[in-house]
């Protein structure tokens, strides 16, 4: 196990910069997810950490050791790929033991380590099979087995669950989390799925356009997003944002809809009013809206309404009898209000 320090790391492909001076500290044994939309640079950053991509500028340290020019095999890391990257001509056991074989470990030692890893991941009965004879979930587990068999200082996961179906993804999510809790190995996990990031990580790094937007614990990011990007990226359905301005102690949207403000608000001028769907409720004294779509999910009901010309999502815990086109009134839970400047920075 080791800490990881990334300091002002930059990456350029020719004249095109893709990572713009990213810095973060990952503590020993911590589970950190890098999350962001496609093309935000999260996988590139992970590959730079692995040594698969050169660093244009900055420093990367693993366990305090500068690894900028250290080959991947010398970094004492293991990586799990999106496509699993299992060697198709090798059995599960050979795949898992390949790194040890290259290291020159003896046959008995390799077998022992492979057996240990197989026991942890319940891969025992599959050891003699080829990857093509395994299901997606089993392949994913073999890829993890190949990683843990080496007892690395850091695990790197590059969107490992993207190729699995929704149900299996939930199961594997729990397995990876459980594995981390048992092994306590420092883990950097890349995903574009914010649910994965929220449920698995000790801390989340939200990235956009090669920059870090916010670093924090999952609920910190959820409760106090630093900007509108994080606010809309974390949470599903996304936070409702309304453009407008404060006037007479209330917030007036560009459509002229009046939304309440906390009476004691003395913060900077807010021009974006944000409220999460579960913090917007149907209330007699709320702003007038019209129901567009009602989606009952069983445990809750998702309602899309028109507030002026803007769309607003509501997540209601109770079952409601609403019809499309029905006029309603919606009101925010004011203590849960998020206010942002015109540039999208949090102001409350």
Partner 1 sequence: MTLQQPALPATAVATRPAWHRDRGRLFQEIGMLAPAVALLTIFLIVPFLLSFWTAMTNQPLVPRPTPVRFIGFTNFLRIFKDDLFWTSLWNVSRFTFWILPVQCGLAFATALLLHQKLPFRNFFRGLFFLPAITSMVVVCVIWGTLFQYPTGPLNQVIGFLSGGRIQPIDWLGDPNWAMFSIVLLSAWQAYGFQMIVYLAGLQGIPDELYDAARIDGANAFQRFWHVTMPGLRPTHVFVLVITTIQAFKLYTQVAILTQGGPKSSTETVVHYMVRTGFEEQKLGYASAVSVILFVIVLIIALVQRQLLRRFDV
Q: How many CB atoms lie within 10 A of CB 264?
A: 6
The distance of closest approach from Cβ of residue 201 to partner 1 in the complex, given in angstroms and rounded to an integer, is: 22
Does 132 help bind partner 1 (rule: CB under 8 A)? yes
Task: Compute CA 13 distance to the chain's CA centroid, rounded to the nearest angstrom.
Answer: 25
How would you class 155 by CB atoms within 10 Å of its CB: exposed for 0-12, middle for 13-18, buried for 19 or more?
buried
CB of 102 to partner 1, least distance (A): 4
Q: How far is the CB of 51 from partner 1 (least distance, A)?
A: 8
Residues 6 or more apart whose Cβ sits within 8 Å of residue 135: none
8, 66, 87, 249: which one contacts partner 1 (CB under 8 A)?
A: 87
- Does position 88 interact with partner 1 (CB under 8 A)? The reply is yes
118 binds partner 1 (CB under 8 A): no
> How near is the Cβ of 14 to partner 1 at its closest, in Å?
13
Q: How far is the CB of 72 from partner 1 (least distance, A)?
A: 5
Contact region with partner 1 (CB under 8 A), list: 70-78, 175-183, 207-215, 227-235: 70-78
Nearer to partner 1, 161 or 305 (CB): 161
Q: Are 208 and 38 in contact (CB under 8 A)?
A: no
Name the residue nearer to partner 1 (CB basis): 75 or 169.
Answer: 75
Give the C-alpha separation, 86 to 84, whole Å.
Answer: 6
> Assign residue 151 a region: left if phi > 0, alpha if psi is -120 to 50, beta otherwise?
left
Interface with partner 1 includes 73 (CB under 8 A)?
A: yes
3-class SS of residue 230: helix
Out of 3, 56, 82, 232, the residue judged to bind partner 1 by CB under 8 A: 82
Beta strands in 14-75 (DSSP E): 16-26, 31-35, 57-62, 65-66
- Residues 227-286 binding partner 1 (CB under 8 A) are none
Q: How far apart are CA 305 and CA 302, in angstroms?
A: 10
In the complex with partner 1, which residue's Cβ is closer, 55 or 305?
A: 55
Q: H/E/C letters for each residue in 80-107?
A: ECCCCCCCCCCCHHHHHHHHHHHHCCCH
Pairing label, strands 250-253, 258-260: antiparallel
Identity of the residue, 31 or 98, whose beta carbon is nearer to partner 1 in the bound complex = 98
Considering the complex, state which of residue 101 and residue 336 has its C-beta at the smaller distance from partner 1. 101
**Count of H helices and E strands in the chain?**
8, 19
Binding mask 146-165 for partner 1 (x = CB under 8 A): x-------------------
Which residue of 85, 195, 320, 334 would you call a contact of partner 1, by CB under 8 A?
A: 85
Burial of 77 (C-beta count, 10 Å sphere; 0-12/13-18/19+): buried
For the chain, give percent helix, strand, coil, nearest 5. 30, 35, 35
Instruction: Between 32 and 77, name the residue whose CB sits nearer to partner 1.
Output: 77
Contact stretch for partner 1 (CB under 8 A) within 16-24, 78-86, 323-331, 334-342: 78-86
Helical residues (DSSP H) of 121-193, grouped into ranges:
136-148, 166-183
- Compute the least distance from the CB of residue 334 to partner 1, in Å: 47
| One character per residue 40-59, x = contact with partner 1 (rule: CB under 8 A) | -------x--xxx-------
Please identify which residue in 16, 71, 166, 263 interacts with partner 1, judged by CB under 8 A. Answer: 71
| Count of residues of this chain found to bind partner 1 when the rule CB under 8 A is applied | 24
User: Is 24 an interacting residue with respect to partner 1 (CB under 8 A)?
Assistant: no
Residue 78 in contact with partner 1, rule: CB under 8 A: yes
166 forms beta bridges with none
Residues of this chain that bind partner 1 (CB under 8 A)? 47, 50-52, 71-73, 77-79, 81-83, 85-89, 98-99, 102-103, 132, 146
């Amino acid at each position: 196990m080791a800490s990881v320090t990334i300091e002002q790391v930059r990456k350029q492909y020719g004249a095109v910069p893709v990572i713009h001076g990213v810095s973060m500290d990952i503590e020993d044994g911590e589970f950190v997810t890098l999350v962001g939309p496609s093309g935000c640079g999260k996988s590139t950053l992970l590959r730079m950490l692995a040594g698969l991509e050169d660093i244009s500028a900055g420093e990367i340290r693993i366990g305090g050791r500068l690894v900028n020019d250290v080959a991947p095999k010398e970094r004492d890391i293991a990586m799990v790929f999106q496509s699993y990257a299992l060697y198709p001509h090798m059995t599960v056991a050979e795949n898992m033991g390949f790194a040890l074989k290259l290291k020159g470990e003896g046959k008995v030692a390799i077998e022992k380590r492979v057996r240990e890893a197989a026991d942890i991941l319940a891969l025992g009965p599959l050891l003699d099979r080829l990857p093509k004879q395994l299901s997606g979930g089993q392949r994913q587990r073999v890829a993890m087995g190949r990683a843990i068999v080496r007892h690395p200082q850091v695990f790197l996961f590059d969107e490992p669950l993207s190729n699995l179906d929704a149900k299996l993804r939930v199961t594997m999510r729990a397995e990876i989390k459980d594995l981390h809790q048992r092994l306590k190995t420092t883990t950097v996990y890349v995903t574009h799925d914010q649910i994965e990031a929220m449920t698995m990580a000790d801390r989340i790094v939200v990235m956009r356009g090669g920059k870090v937007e916010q670093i924090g614990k999952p609920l910190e990011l959820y409760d106090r997003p630093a900007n509108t990007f994080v606010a809309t990226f974390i949470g599903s359905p996304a936070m409702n944002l309304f453009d407008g301005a404060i006037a007479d102690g209330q917030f007036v949207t560009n459509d002229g809809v009046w939304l309440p403000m906390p009476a004691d608000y003395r913060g900077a001028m807010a021009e974006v009013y944000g409220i999460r769907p579960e913090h917007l409720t149907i209330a007699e004294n709320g702003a007038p809206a019209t129901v567009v779509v009602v989606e009952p999910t069983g445990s809750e009901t998702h309602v899309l309404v028109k507030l002026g010309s803007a769309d607003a999502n509501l997540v209601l815990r109770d079952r409601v009898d609403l019809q499309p086109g029905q006029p309603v009134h919606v009101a925010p839970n004011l203590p849960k209000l998020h206010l942002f400047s015109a540039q999208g920075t949090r102001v409350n």
